[in-house]
A and B are shown apart, each in its own frame.
Chain A
Amino acid sequence: MLKVEARQVERNFSIRNSLGRKVKLTVLDHFDLDIREGEFLSILGPSGCGKSTFLNILAGLDDYDRGEILVDQKPLQKRSFDRGMVFQGYALLPWRTVLGNLELGLEIRRVPKRERRAIASHYLELVGLTRFANQYPSQLSGGMRQRVAIARVLAYRPNLLLMDEPFGALDAQTRENLQIELLRIWEADKKTILFITHSIDEAIILSDRVAIMTARQGQIKEITEIDLPRPRTEEVRNSAEFAQIRQKVWILLRDEALKAESCYAGGI
């Protein structure tokens, strides 16, 4: 079963070049991608390659100019109760407590107050932050804030999770801890996750498949299956298979980057 089918998607932006003239910038160009039901798929690529644009389109935050996107075999809706997005910048409401933030999605779905409380408390426990229920986001560390943001999205049980470099602003240790924690949570109910990152290691340890995008071409160039056994733990990072896959992905990414660079240089 396919969760998302993107066919020949095109997205253009109008920007001003160095001379101040308006020029067309094509960010997604004949972009194709299938996301399977219940899989963990990462899109890996350098900044500016269009991966976040695709995620924003799926989240209903951006439009596309051409092509077709199906979610559950139906055309993508701009407004939907079935998606959850986790941002790099956490996006927590600073005037609400941790628990209040967790209730946001449930409030939008008009879940009654008492039920809201109960569900929010449950998910807070899932990410191990029950003690901080009545604190404000500004009183938490970055890692804790991102845990809250993840719990907030899980709490309203969307079937498609979109994550835009969620661990990008965290220090290395916290980042690795949260990766394992995300896996633990995901293993429990296997919701479909589309994860954006520019870290090769992160993409490999988390994903069932890694889609590689390169700069300025606006397409998925290659999809690699990651057949590391699950459930995955910290130790996977040190295994020979991990190193092998890492090497393969690294070469793919480098070759694509070199190709992109030479064709870009040739085109101008």
Chain B
Amino acid sequence: MSAGSPRNPQRFSNLVARWCGLALFLALWETSTRLGWFSSTYLSPPSVVFQALVSLLWRGELGRHFLISLRRVLIGLSLSVVVGVTFGLFIGYFKTVERYLDLLFQAFRQMSAFALFPVFILLFGLGELSKALIIFWASLWPVLLNTCDGVKHIDKVLIQSAQSMGASRTFIFGRIILPAVAPEIFTGIRLGGSYCVMAVVAAEMIGASSGLGYLIMYSQETFNIAEMYAGIISLAILGMGLNFVLRTAGNFFSAWKEE
């Protein structure tokens, strides 16, 4: 069906092109610092960053910070999936409710999670709760609004046909509405996931003592520049990994939407 064969020449050349771009960038970075175009005090060459990465990993520090950040992301994201999907389905199903809430939600969506962080600190202190909330807020809106939009655009005749067969409400919800909206829900979750990774850094840079955001900030303050870059790269890996998992899960539920 799709171009899934690894021997497919088009796909192979795409793969080469992708890695070429990255390799070229690393080579440029390495030479520019080696040749002294940039001071290595501010920009460590990738080889040194890689050594720092390995040493952080070896000492167990990187793993610890990585897992803590990952845990925070997953807690915040799960919370917004539960709340966002539930309310999104509800609001999308009842058009009148949506009319009352639409403007409010548009306003909330524009309200940056970073701007609200001081509010959360004020209300809930510097602990895990505030961190969970900022990540939750950042990812809630794309999940909620995408779900809501998906429900609004379900083909009504699918629901009617199940009704005419005598289906119960539970059946219609579980077997018609949910699978029909699944692609939109996953688009929302993927978007929310990338917002989560951004938000976790902000949360860990203020009043935290663990996590990748903290590692980056701490390394900068102690002038351990190579470890700072190692932290940044780990963060990118975290984001890409999460995106990959969510995309794979999403493809599974929305394969029928293609073509």
A residues sitting closer than 8 Å to B (CB atoms) are 59-61, 79-85, 87, 89, 91, 93-95, 104-105, 107-109, 136, 138, 153, 156, 162
CB atoms of A107 and B161 under 8 A apart: no
Taking a contact as CB atoms under 8 Å apart, the answer to whether A93 and B158 are in contact is yes
19 intermolecular pairs with C-beta atoms under 8 Å apart: A79-B163, A79-B168, A80-B166, A84-B164, A87-B160, A91-B157, A91-B160, A91-B161, A93-B176, A94-B256, A95-B179, A105-B165, A107-B171, A108-B165, A108-B168, A108-B171, A138-B256, A138-B259, A153-B165
Q: Is the CB of B256 within 8 A of A83?
A: no
Instruction: Contacts A91-B157, A93-B176, A138-B259 given; indicate if A60 touches B167 (C-beta within 8 A).
Output: no
Chain A residue contacts of B157, Cβ below 8 A: 87, 89, 91
A88 and chain B: residue at smallest CB distance = B157
Q: Closest residue of chain B to A107, judged by CB?
A: B175
Assess whether B162 is interfacial by the CB under 8 Å rule: yes
| Residue in A95, A138, A156 whose beta carbon sits within 8 Å of that of B165 in the complex | A156
Choose one: B161, B166, B176; the contact of A81 (CB below 8 Å): B166
Contact at A85–B164, with CB atoms within 8 Å? yes
Q: Bound state CA distance, A109 and B180, in angstroms? A: 21
Docked Cα-Cα span, A136 to B1, in Å, equals 12
A84 & B165 in contact (Cβ 8 Å cutoff): yes
Give Cα A79 to B259, complex, Å: 35
Checking B155, B167, B257 against A108 with a beta-carbon cut-off of 8 angstroms, the contacting residue is B167
Determine if A79 and B256 form an interchain contact, defined as CB atoms under 8 angstroms apart. no
Determine the distance from Cα of A136 to Cα of B254 in the docked complex, in whole angstroms. Answer: 13
Q: Which residue of B lies closest to A81 (CB)?
A: B166
Residues on A with C-beta less than 8 A from B259 are 138
Contacts of B158 in A (CB 8 A): 91, 93
User: Is B175 touching A60 in the complex (CB atoms < 8 A)?
Assistant: no
A81 and B167 CA atoms in complex are apart in Å by 8
The majority secondary structure among interface residues of chain A is loop
**B169 to chain A: closest CB distance in Å?**
10
The reply to whether B256 and A95 form a contact with Cβ atoms under 8 Å apart is yes
Q: Which residues of B contact A84 (CB under 8 A)?
A: 164-165
Report the Cα distance A142→B191, complex, angstroms. Answer: 36
B166 proximity list for chain A (CB < 8 A) = 79-83, 108-109
Question: What are the residues of chain B within 8 A of A156 when measuring CB–CB?
Answer: 165
Closest B residue, CB atoms, query A94: B256
Bound Cα distance from A241 to B37, whole angstroms: 96
Q: Which residues of B contact A59 (CB under 8 A)?
A: 160, 163-164
8 A-B pairs with the lowest CB-CB distances in the bound complex, closest first: A91-B161, A85-B164, A95-B256, A81-B166, A59-B164, A91-B157, A105-B165, A108-B167
Q: For the complex, what is the distance from the CA of A162 to the CA of B166, rounded to whole Å?
A: 14
7 additional contacts (CB under 8 A) given A59-B164, A93-B158, A153-B165: A59-B163, A60-B164, A61-B164, A79-B166, A85-B164, A94-B256, A104-B162
